[in-house]
Structure 1
Amino acid sequence: MLPRFLTALYPMERHYFLVPKFVLSLIGLYPEQKRTLPVRLWSFFNFFILSYGCYAEAYYGIHYIPINIATALDALCPVASSILSLVKMIAIWYYQDELKSLIQRVRFLTEQQRSERKLGYKKKFYVLATRLTTLLLCCGFCTSTSYSVRHLIDNVLRKSRGKEWIYETPFKMIFPDPLLRLPLYPITYILVHWHGYITVVCFVGADGFFLGFCVYLTVLLMSLRDDVFDLLEVKDIEKIPNKKQEAKIVREMEKLVDRHNEVAELTERLSGVMVEITLAQFVTSSLIIGTSVVDILLFSGLGIIVYVVHTCAVGVEIFLYCLGGSYIMEACSELARSTFSSHWYVHSVRVQKMALLMIARAQRVLTIKIPFFSPSLETLTSILRFTGSLIALAKSVI
């Protein structure tokens, strides 16, 4: 049985960016959150923890490359995700005002869609966005927790065999010796463990924003499609609408064209906000998944479980980006097809021109524009294919 917030029974307005709002508020980074002094200090503390964790992990991994490649990869695999989350944290902070504006504008536009059919679209996509981002949160939480559990279980087994406890952190990091000895070791361990959760929170928040905006814009495009089709529909095709009816249709059509223009503008603004996040995600996904799979081949026991969960988490991440991009492109194509199949040809020349203009613009599908990539399910297959090549290359070298 699913929790209530994952079902359609949960109030629609509370589904709006539910998971990103929850996780980013935990670290004081949600754009609509009031920026009081305690919130600013808390967000800076989390930024410092994540930044230093990235440095310590990277230093450890690079240091161990010539010594032990398996140990080096054990550090470099999670540090890639940590650095990516640091990029996402910085981007969310830098674009917080623009994100706040986008959140409020898209909320306003979607709340205007109130017909029964449009409420059905909202229910379907709002719940889908909440469920998928919750899945990503669960995968990330399990990944971060598994690193700590692995270390604790390994040390418990060592103690049961009469060996000494290894004073290391859950994620492989280099620290000054006093921080890895009692009495400071428990504090260091807790902070490193929290570093893992900050990593999860940042990528769930950023990825949740991307998917959320994509599905909400899809709802707007589907609502626009229905409004255009209903406006141009003629019950009796032999009866041409009179001048008074045509004048009303022209006024309504102008409003629909303006709505389409605004959705296109919002997509452009979203591209500007998400370009760094999306580009970093697509560039690093193959490397992270490839490194995780290589670690699965190198490790045994609990180590395999850790990297299987890590691979699933990164796979869900890139899937959300590609799914969101595909939804927008399909909605644009449906808008063009639906408008063309309507009764646009029985109306006045002015209405015909406006309808054909909307068809032409809708055929130029809206995409989240980033260099070298366009988020879509086709892109996902290319990434997975390239990942397979990296894994084969790594196996031949190692």
Structure 2
Amino acid sequence: MWPRFLSSSYPMERHYFLVPKFALSLIGFYPEQKRTWALRAWSFLNFFILSYGCYAEAAFGIQQIPNNIALALDALCPVASSILSLLKMLAIWWYREEFKWLIQRIRKLTEQQQSERKLGYKRHCYTLATRLTTLLLFCGFCTSTSYSVRHLLDNILRHSHGKDWVYETPFKMIFPDPLLRLPLYPVIYALVHWHGYITVVCFVGADGFFLGFCLYLTVLLHALRDDVCELLAVDSIQLVPTALEEARIVRKMTRLVDRHNEIADLTERLSGVMVEITLGHFVTSSLIIGSSVVDMLLFSGVGIVVYVVYTCAVLTEILLYCLGGTYVTEACTDLARSAFASHWYGHSVRVQKMTLLLITRAQRVLIIKIPFFSPSLETLTSILRFTGSLIALAKSVI
């Protein structure tokens, strides 16, 4: 049975950035939150926990490389995601005002699309964004929880065989010895466990922002396509529009061109605030997926389950980026194709020129511009191929 918020009958206005808002609000980093002193203190505490966790995991993994490569990879694999989540947290905080403006502006533009067909576009894209980000949140939650479950199961098995409890954290980290002893050990254990959840909500919030913006821009492009085709349609009874009718079409066409320009401007501004997040994710994606698969091959028992879930979470992350970019690209192409297939040639020269200008601009597809990469399903295929090569290399070395 689906939760109600995952169904298409859930109110559309509540679907808008539902999961990213929930995730980032937990740690005090959602851009629309009122920045009280209590919220600032809470967000700084979460930043400090994540930052120290990144350092402690990296230090432990580097220290173990000469001694035990499997143990080193067990620490370095999750630390890559933690460092990337720290980057996403900093980017969301740094661009918080720009994110807030984009959220409010795109919300206003999508709320203006109220025809039955446009509401269908909104329902499909809004529901898809909520479902995919919920899937990512679920995979991330299971991954972080599985690390603690693995540690607890290992210690329970040790205790059942008469061995002492191992006082270590669920994620492999370096801590001063007094912190890993009673009575402070439970507090440190809880903080490290929360560190895992901070990592999860950071990438759910940032990745959910990217997918959400892409799908909401897709709604605006589909609505623009319908308005252009409806405006340029010629009544079969009146094959030649009158001068008065042509003047009305010119005025409306001007507004549609302005709408297209604004969508292009929103895409540019989105590229500006997402460039560090997206670039960091694409650069490290192959390394993270490859290392998690190698860990899966090295471990047995519960360790395999941990890295199977972790691999699913990382693959879901990169899928969200590539799927969002593909939706925007296809919406731009469909706008150009539909406008060209309309009856634009049956209007005045001025309308024809405006239509051809819109077609030309639509053919230059809107993409979230990042250096070296373009988010699309083709890029996902290339990343998976390169990941396969890294896995084969790692297996031959190990």
Q: When the two structures are aligned, how many residues end up with a matched partner?
A: 398
- 2:323 is matched with 323
Q: Secondary structure at the match of 2:365?
A: coil
Identity of aligned residues (%): 79
1:69-218 alignment to 2 at 5 Å?
A: 69-218=69-218
The runs of at least 4 consecutive aligned structure 1 residues that moved more than 6 Å come to none
1:243 is aligned to 2:243? yes
Instruction: Give the letter for the 2:191 counterpart.
Output: L
Counterpart of 1:34?
A: 34
Partner of 2:387: 387
Q: Partners of 1:204 and 1:121 in 2: how far apart?
A: 24
Asked if the contact 1:20–1:206 (Cα under 8 Å) also holds between the matched residues in 2, the reply is yes
Cα distance, 1:235 vs. partner? 2.1
Counterpart-to-counterpart distance in 2, 1:286 and 1:30: 28
Q: Answer whether contact 1:85 1:203 (CA < 8 A) is retained.
A: yes
* Structure 2 residue aligned with 1:43: 43
For structure 1, which runs of at least 5 residues remain unmatched after alignment? none
Partner of 2:59: 59
Q: What code does the residue aligned with 2:304 have?
A: I
Equivalent position amino acid for 2:231 in 1 = L
CA distance in 1, matches of 2:237, 2:326: 35
Partners of 2:24 and 2:395 in 1: CA distance: 38
The structural deviation recorded for 1:239 is 1.8
| Structure-to-structure mapping, 1:227-306, within 5 angstroms | 227-236=227-236, 239-306=239-306
Distance (whole Å) between structure 2 residues aligned to residue 358 and residue 205 of structure 1: 34
Give the letter aligned to residue 80 of structure 2: A
SS of the residue corresponding to residue 240 of structure 2 reads: coil
1:136 Cα deviation after fit = 0.1
Distance 2:237 2:383 in 1: 49
Q: Distance in 2 between matches of 1:118 and 1:348?
A: 28
| d(CA) in 2 for partners of 1:66, 1:43 | 37
Secondary structure in 2 aligned to 1:170?
coil
Q: Is the 8 A contact 1:237 1:346 kept in 2?
A: no
Q: Aligned partners of 2:267, 2:303: CA distance in 1, in Å? A: 42
1:162 alignment partner, SS class: coil
State the distance in 2 between where 1:237 and 1:263 align.
35
Structure 2-normalised TM-score?
1.00
Structure 1-normalised TM-score? 1.00
Alpha-carbon distance between aligned partners in 1 of 2:82 and 2:391, rounded to the nearest angstrom: 21
Aligned partners of 1:356, 1:265: CA distance in 2, in Å? 20
Instruction: Compute the displacement of 1:8 (Å).
Output: 1.2
Q: Which amino acid in structure 2 is aligned with residue 67 of structure 1?
A: N
- How far apart, CA to CA, are the structure 2 residues paired with 1:237 and 1:131? 46
Distance 2:3 2:311 in 1: 26
d(CA) in 2 for partners of 1:33 and 1:61? Answer: 36
Q: How does 1:340-351 map to 2 (within 5 A)?
A: 340-351=340-351
* Deviations 1:59-118, CA, capped at 9 Å, x for gaps: 000000000000000000000000000000000000000000000000000000000000
Query: In the alignment, which residue of structure 1 is the partner of 2:14?
Result: 14
Q: Contact 1:253–1:354 (CA<8 Å) still a contact in 2?
A: yes
Residues in 2 aligned to 1:237 and 1:375: alpha-carbon distance in whole angstroms: 46
- How far apart, CA to CA, are the structure 1 residues paired with 2:342 and 2:112? 24
Aligned to 2:370: 370
After superposition, give the CA deviation of every residue in 1:351-373 in whole Å (9 maximum; x if it has no partner): 00000000000000000000000
The CA RMSD measured in Å over matched residues stands at: 0.6
2:367 is paired with a residue whose SS is coil
Paired with 1:59 and 1:77, the residues of 2 have a C-alpha distance of 13
Structure 2: how far apart are the matches of 1:367 and 1:37?
A: 38
Structure 2: how far apart are the matches of 1:350 and 1:239? 17
Cα offset, 1:237, TM superposition: 7.4
CA separation in 1, counterparts of 2:9 and 2:39?
A: 33
